[in-house]
Structure 1
Amino acid sequence: MTDDLVVKANLAHQRAMAMTRLLDCGMDYADASRLHARASEGEPWDVIAEAIAAERLAQADRAEAEGRVVTAAEARRRGIAALVFAQMAFNFDEPRKVELYRKLIAACGRLGPVFDLPFERVETEFSEKRLIGWLVRPASLAARGTVILFGGQSGWGAAYLPLARELARRGLATILAEGPGQGETRIEQGLYLQEGIEAAFGRWVDFIVADPSLGTPGIWGNSYGGLWAARTASSDSRIGACCINGSFARPAILPFRTAFEQSAAMIGSEDRAVIEAVMAKLRFDPTQQRIACPLLILHGGADPLVTLEDQQPFLDAATGEAVLHVWPDGEHTIYNHSFERTALVADWFAARLGPAA
C-alpha cells in the first residue's frame, strides 16, 4: 500500500474507531492515544495496533510468570482490546485479518487463568457447524440470568468484554456471542449472515436454559446486532428481557465503501443484489413481529448512522414494558457515554432477569 493510500485508510479508521470507541472497548488511554497519533503520522493502522497489543501481552506474560496475576489480567485485557482494533482495519477475511483474529483468539484463551471472573470459550451447534462465543460468569459462578451480547458488522466477541464485567458485578453471566457473519464463527466456521438469523441466536438460548446455573436468558444487540436481538426476542418466548442499542429495523447497504464491504463480508457475497435480498428478508415488521418481554431501546441523538425513526418499529412491536433512553449528544451505540450506558443497561437487566442466585 502506498503512503497516500495508508493516509487515506487511516483517516477512515480514525473515523470508524474514534477515541471514544477505543476506550469503550477496553483500550488503555495511552495506547489509544498512541494509535491515533502514529496513524496520523502515516504508519499502517493494523501494524501500530498489533505492536501495542504485543507490548501489553508481553507485559502480561512477565507479570504472570512473577505471580502478579492482577497486573497480568489487566495487561492482557488491554492487549486483547488492541487486537480487536488491529483486525478491524480489514473488512474482508483476507490473510492479514485472519492472522490478527487468530492472535486475538489466542490472547483470549490465555486470559482465563488470570482473570478475576470465570471466563471460557464456548460453542454450540448450528446448521451443521459451530457458533462460537465466550462465557463470562459472575464470581459466584451461579447467575441470576445470562445476557447474550453481540455487535453488528464490525464489533464482535471480546470487544464487549468491559460490558460483560459490569454485568457480572450485578450477578449476571454473559455470552459474548459471535453469530453468523461475525468473528470466529465466520472466519473459521464459514457461517454467514442469512435469513432466519434468530434461529442461530436461539441456539444460545438453548445453551442457557440447558444449564440451571445460568438463570433466565436476556439478549442485548448493538448496532446491526440490535435488529437480530429484536428478531430473536420476537420469536423466542424464553427470553426475559431485550436491549437494542442503535439499530435499523429495516437494514440497507449504507452509502460508504466500508459499510458495503462489511455487509458483503458478513453475507459472503459482493453481489449487491444478493446483499439487498438478504437484508430485505431480515427486516423487522412490527405488524408481524411482536416483542412481549421487557424492551429497552437506546439512541444517540448525534448518531450519524441511525435515526430515532429507524428504531421506532421496535418500540411499535412492544406488547409490554418498553423504555426509550436517548442521549441528545450520543454517538453511535453511545460510545461517548459508556459508563452511563453500561450502568443503565446492566442495572435494567439485573432487575428483570430474576432474583440473585
Structure 2
Amino acid sequence: MTVGLAPAEVLWRAMAVPRLLDCGMVPSDVAGLRAATDEGVPWDVACAQLAEAQFERADGTSVTAVEALRAGAADLLFAQMAHNFDTARKRELYAAFTAAVGRAGALAGWERVQLPFAGGYLVGWIVRPAAPRGTVILFGGQSGWGAAYLRLADALVARGLTAFLVEGPGQGEPRLASGLYLDVDVRAAYSTFVDHVLARPDLPGPVGLWGNSMGGLYAGTTAASDRRVTAVCINGAPAQPRLLGMRTFDDQAAAMLGTTEPDAIQRNFDRLALRPGDRIESALLVLHGGADPIVSLADQQPFLDAADPDRSTLRIWVDGEHVVTNHAEERNAFVTDWFCERFQR
C-alpha cells in the first residue's frame, strides 16, 4: 500500500470517462482534464483549476449558479480521489467539495443533515420533489460519497421520490472531519438514516436503500437487519469482500479503516460481510455489469440467495462496467422506476 499521487494513466483507469460523467463532471471539463494531464499537470491540480473556472460562472442566475457549482463540485470530487489516504491535501479538497455542494444546496433548496453516531457524526443531503411519495437513501462505497450521486438524485426527484444522499462510516466528511472509521456498527449507522426519515412527517412514504459498489454491501446487510426498509438496490457489491491486490481498491480500504495492516482490513471485511443467517425480506434489485473487473456475478449471488425469489430482480448489462457507469442514464431510469413500483405496492 502506497501513499502518494498515482501516475495520470493509473488515475484515468480508476476514474474513467463514464465514471466522471456519471458523478457530474461536464464533458468540457473531462476534455480539459485529459488535455491538462497529457501536458503533465498533476490530476488534482488540473481538477481544482477546472473547478475554479466553473465557480467563476456561479454569479449568474440562480439556475446557472447551481449548474456551475455542481460542475465545480464534481471536479473537486475527482480531485480528492487522486489521494487515497487522508493527507492534508485530500482534506482540503474534500472540504472545498463540501463547501461547493453547500453553496449549490442553499440556492437549490437541499437540506443538509448531520446526525451524531459513535463519537463522530454522519451527514447527508435531502433533495426533495414538490410532493414526495417515498424516500431513497443513496450512498457509495470506498471513494464516491453523498453528493457524488446528485445525478441519481435528479432521476429520483423527477419521479416524485426524495433522495437522501448520505456519507457513512469511513466515508467523506464523517471520516475526514469527525474521525469516524469503518470499525463501527455499519448496519446501525445506516439504520440511523432510516430512523431520521421515519421520524419526519415531511418525508412521507416508504424507505428504500440504494448502495453502489461497496455501498451495496452496506445496503444489503442493513436491509437484512432493518425490517423497516421496503426496497433495496445493490449495485456492483461483493457479499463477502476481500482485498483484491489492486492499488486503488486496497489503499482506499485501508484509509476507510485507518490502518494499512492487511490482516486487520480483511478481518474487518469479514465482520462487514453478509452473514449465512441473513435474510433480506424487502424487495431486492441487484445490478451487475458483465465487464466489471472488480465484482463478479458470483460475488453478488449471496444477496439473491438471501432474498425471496418472488421479490428479487437481477438486471445485467452484458458490457456494463463497475456499477454500470457506462449505461448511467438507462441504469438510473430502471432503478428509479423500480423503486416507484415497489413503493406503490
TM range (shorter): over 0.9
Shift of 1:129: 2.3
1:152 aligns with 2:141: yes
Partner of 2:40: 42
Say which SS state the counterpart of residue 107 (structure 2) adopts: coil
Per-residue CA deviation, residues 152-194 of structure 1 (Å, 9 max, x unaligned), is: 1011111101101110111111111100000001001111112
Letter in 2 for 1:122: V
Shift of 1:354: 4.0
Rounded to whole Å, the distance in 1 between the matches of 2:34 and 2:111 is 32
Partner of 2:119: 128
Letter in 1 for 2:105: G
Per-residue CA deviation, residues 275-320 of structure 1 (Å, 9 max, x unaligned), is: 11111111113x3000011100000000011110000000000025
In structure 1, stretches of 5+ residues that fail to align are none
Say which SS state the counterpart of residue 122 (structure 2) adopts: strand
Partner of 2:161: 172
Partner of 1:30: 28
Partner of 2:190: 201
In structure 2, stretches of 5+ residues that fail to align are none
Per-residue CA deviation, residues 228-259 of structure 1 (Å, 9 max, x unaligned), is: 00000000010010000000001011111222
Alignment of 1:1-357 (within 5 A): 9-60=7-58, 62-63=59-60, 68-115=61-108, 118-138=109-129, 140=130, 142-194=131-183, 196-214=185-203, 215-285=205-275, 287-319=276-308, 320-354=310-344
> Structure 2 length normalisation: TM-score?
0.96
Letter in 1 for 2:140: G
Letter in 1 for 2:153: A
Q: Give % identity.
A: 51
Measured on the aligned residues, the alpha-carbon RMSD in Å equals: 1.4
Shift of 1:212: 2.2
Per-residue CA deviation, residues 78-132 of structure 1 (Å, 9 max, x unaligned), is: 11111110111101110000000111111111112332xx312111121132111
Does the aligned pair in 2 maintain the 1:195–1:282 contact within 8 Å?
no
Rounded to whole Å, the distance in 2 between the matches of 1:103 and 1:354 is 39
Does the aligned pair in 1 maintain the 2:239–2:299 contact within 8 Å?
yes
Letter in 2 for 1:18: A
Does the aligned pair in 1 maintain the 2:119–2:180 contact within 8 Å?
no
Letter in 2 for 1:190: G
Letter in 1 for 2:43: W
Does the aligned pair in 1 maintain the 2:280–2:306 contact within 8 Å?
yes
Shift of 1:70: 1.3
Does the aligned pair in 2 maintain the 1:253–1:259 contact within 8 Å?
yes
Shift of 1:331: 0.3
Number of corresponding residues: 340
Letter in 1 for 2:36: R
Does the aligned pair in 2 maintain the 1:157–1:176 contact within 8 Å?
yes
Rounded to whole Å, the distance in 1 between the matches of 2:343 and 2:175 is 30
Does the aligned pair in 1 maintain the 2:118–2:184 contact within 8 Å?
no
